[in-house]
Structure 1
Amino acid sequence: MIAIRTPGPADAERIAALMNALAESLGGEQVATAAEIAHWLRLTDVEFRVAEAAHGELVAYADVIERAERTRYWLDLREHPDRRQLGGARALLTAVEERAQERAAENALLRGTFSSADGALRELYEEAGFHLGRHHLEMGIELGGDLARPVWPQGISVRTFDAKDAERVHVAHMESFEDHWEHVHEPLTRWSQEHLVREDFDPSLWFLAQEAGEIAGLCLCRRHASGDPSIGYVEVLGVRRPWRKRGLGLGLLRHAFRVFRDRGMTRAALDVDAGSLTGAVQLYERAGMHIARRSETYEKPL
């Protein structure tokens, strides 16, 4: 018998354990700490659900975020690798779809993203009528040896984030991502909740490229969500349109890599849309990054 409920802060450690067990079973590494999950659970515009077995074992986890005026529902569904036979992911997928159908506007889509190595979850989505919509990549680089120095376009200077920059950085982030697949403008309050109100927020890892006082590009980084201190994570890399095609993105990336290494980190990682219209994958390859893992987004009309 599967019971579905909304998780609370006390569940963070068990959710992290489920996610890490799944990631390791698929040939990957740990992906989240309890502190990272606790941060997610505080996001007010995300709906969370867990599926439990009769004796309280955590079987599956799901979170759903509603976007684009109730036309896009983004699902993160994960199932414990040793408890798949209990049907927790199937129960959560059914519950999430029913909930989304109640709220959805016309022409809405439910989309779920998962590791390409998770054949069982792919089969579950396909049986439920979902089809492949997009591929995504996790890319990485070892930070040993000689790391290329950044070369900055004339007139560009780089500095780190200050609290008074929040509104301007938010604007630059949103503008630089306008060309990205399914980009949705986030209000400043939601953006701040996700990026600034975190226990591990480190403003010295947020790099801002400026010209004549204007933010031209940004590279917002942090320690990896897994808690592994050897991995630096590039969460956001963006260049505003007037400053593109000048090597600024590559410069910011190389700058971040060198700072990571100076902090004792040995690897860097990021996630990217495999079909990026801005040439992001090619940029990361020029910076020396390689594909570490793949994921897929499946979708279904509501």
Structure 2
Amino acid sequence: MRPATLDDAAAICALLNEVDLLEIGRADTEIAEVRADLKHPEADLERNSWLLFDGDRLVGYGLLWDESGGERIDVDHYVLPGQLPGALHLFELMEDRAARRAAANGATRAVVHLHLNTTPTTDLDALRGRGWRTVRRYNVLARDLSATADPPPQPPPGVTLRPCVAEQDRRIAHALLQEAMTEHFDFQPRTYAQWLDDIDGARADWSAIWVAEVEGIGDSAVLRTHDDRASMAWISNIAVLDKARRQGLGGHLLRHAFGHYAARGRDRIGLGVDTDNSSGALGLYERHGMSLDHAVDTWELIRQV
């Protein structure tokens, strides 16, 4: 085992796509995503990343990050089948590091979260044996697109959208997301600079991120999308402030994304949704023709520090 470096991005991407093929039947990881993780200013690869080799072959990858500055710690853990001893050793190293990180933040425990496909390459019995348990499920929904079936929609009366090509609008989008997403599970407050690092803002297509203004209310919603996945276009956020809900704004933003990417020639679009989301987002997306592609569970481990 050794820490990862930015030079390992291609090998890590190949491993993640091998895992993707086993779990969802297609390679769905782009190297830009891997590089964004590795070069993140908060990454600290020497202490918070791990590569697991079987001989010369990369068979496992772990990454830990701390957005909360408190007890909440996030980890990624990818290991190919047939590597259980190495997978367990990697878990042990990551769990110990999470506890030390939380202690350094002044917390009395580490609450560690890990996202896994519901049919993962990970040995779930072994994971449960280490004290992990599922606490949330996210559905990845997808929908076919066509220019004929998905023309750009007309906005509701009094609603206008503008792309975030100006710095001021990027800051507005960040502020709206921070306000609208506060009650969502696993939300962590982030400064504008941190958010830019999180979304790899230096290479983001800001013309595919929109702020919605509602007459009489002002800037009230954000639609953030990107087009760097081979399999489908992707909606990262649809966020509407409480004061602008129940006016059809969420549905309009969804249809706007459909029309935008259909016009660009994409034939499929997807997003992830918390199945316990109290805003009714899952039902909204299903009413607009989105259906289950695959599901991801949030696993949690609580360690005293």
Q: Distance in 1 between the 2:183 and 2:54 partners?
A: 47
1:30 aligns with 2:34: no
Match of 1:174 in 2: 178
Match of 2:124 in 1: 122
SS of structure 2 residue aligned to 1:301: strand
1:204 aligns with 2:207: yes
How big is the alpha-carbon RMSD for the aligned residues of Structure 1 and Structure 2? 2.0
Change (3 A) 1:161 1:100: same
SS of structure 1 residue aligned to 2:36: helix
* Residue deviations 1:52-80 (CA, integer Å, cap 9, x gap): 33533212111222233321111111112
1:53 aligns with 2:69: no
SS of structure 2 residue aligned to 1:126: helix
1:267 aligns with 2:268: yes
* Residue deviations 1:228-263 (CA, integer Å, cap 9, x gap): 1x6211011100111011110110010111010100
Match of 1:11 in 2: 8
Q: Distance in 2 between the 1:54 and 1:220 partners?
A: 40
Runs of 4+ with deviation above 4 angstroms: none
Q: Distance in 2 between the 1:196 and 1:118 partners?
A: 27
Change (3 A) 1:41 1:120: closer
Match of 2:89 in 1: 91
Task: State which drifts further: 56-65 or 266-275.
Answer: 56-65
SS of structure 1 residue aligned to 2:66: strand
Q: Distance in 1 between the 2:154 and 2:244 partners?
A: 14
Amino acid at match of 2:60: A
Q: Distance in 2 between the 1:35 and 1:147 partners?
A: 29
TM-score, with normalisation over the residues of structure 2? Answer: 0.89
- Point out where structure 1 has 5 or more consecutive residues left out of the alignment: none
Q: How many residues align?
A: 293
Superposition map of 1:66-145 within 5 A: 66-81=66-81, 84-85=82-83, 87-104=85-102, 105-118=107-120, 120-144=122-146
- Point out where structure 2 has 5 or more consecutive residues left out of the alignment: none
Change (3 A) 1:207 1:52: same
Task: State which drifts further: 159-168 or 208-217.
Answer: 208-217
In the alignment, which of 40, 45, 49 is matched to residue 43 of structure 1?
40
SS of structure 2 residue aligned to 1:61: strand
Q: Percent identity?
A: 25
Q: CA deviation at 1:45?
A: 2.1
TM-score, with normalisation over the residues of structure 1? Answer: 0.90
Query: Is the contact made by 1:111 and 1:299 (CA closer than 8 Å) also made in structure 2?
Result: yes
SS of structure 2 residue aligned to 1:46: coil
Superposition map of 1:259-298 within 5 A: 259-298=260-299
Q: CA deviation at 1:30?
A: 1.4
Q: CA deviation at 1:86?
A: 5.8
Query: Is the contact made by 1:53 and 1:86 (CA closer than 8 Å) also made in structure 2?
Result: no
